Structures are given as structure tokens and as C-alpha cells.
Amino acid sequence: MTKICNLNDIKVNKSLGLLVSINGTKKPLIIVRVKNNVFVYLNSCPHVGTPLDLKSGQFLSHDKKNIICSTHGALFQINTGQCIFGPCKNKYLETIPVHIDNDEILLTPT
């Protein structure tokens, strides 16, 4: 199994951006921690494919309730990746399946 990072590498209600090898290809990921849950998405806006980072590794809106795209200000629900505001409304970020085992965030085999 591929380890992405440790759960404690991400503070509660914070995000992290990492480049991870998935099936031999390096992919930029968004990881958001909410309590002891993590949500992982491909760092690519469904509108035009640009990275979402406001600043390197910072993906959350000011109130920390949504993921925000730095290009057009689109807002995505943290727990589903669904766009709720912006030019890609009702589209989704690409989910990367993961699970937590012994405080390690691991890719779930597909």
C-alpha cells in the first residue's frame, strides 16, 4: 500500500498539498483533515484543470468550511468535492480513495 502521509502531518481543519505516485504517475493531491477524517482529491479544478491552491498547500476558504479554487473562486464541499458555487457548479473534484491505518493515510487499492 502507498502511504501518503501521517494523520498528524495535517492539523485539524487544515489542508495539505502533496505530490504522490499513483500507479507509477506523480499526481498532485489535496488532503483536508476534519477531526480524525481526511478527504483527498486530485488538485485539479473541474472547470479548467488548474491547481486549486491559494498558496502552496492552502486550499480552504477563510471560514474553513469549503475548498476554494484560486483561479475562479469556486467553492467545493470538503466531504464530497461537489462544487456549490462558481463556474463548475455541480461538478466534482476527483476523489482519491484513502483509508487510515495506525495514523497513516494510505491509498486504498483500486
Taken in order of first residue, the domains within the chain and their CATH numbers are 3-107 (2.102.10.10)
pLDDT value at residue 42: 97
* CA pair distance 7, 5, nearest whole angstrom: 7
Strands 3-6 and 104-107: antiparallel
pLDDT at residue 23, rounded to an integer = 87
Helix (H, G, I), strand (E, B) or coil at 93: coil
pLDDT at position 73 is 93
Tell me, what's the pLDDT at 100? 96
The contacts of residue 53 (CB under 8 Å, 6+ apart) are 17, 43, 59, 70
Size of the chain in residues: 110
What's the pLDDT tens digit per position in 34-62?
998 999 999 999 998 899 987 888 899 99
Q: Give the distance, in angstroms, between the CA of residue 102 and the centroid of all CA atoms in the same chain.
A: 21
Residue 96 pLDDT:
97
87: Cβ contacts below 8 Å, ≥ 6 apart: 47, 72, 74
pLDDT for res 56: 82
Stretches in the chain below the pLDDT threshold 70: none
pTM of the complete model: 0.94
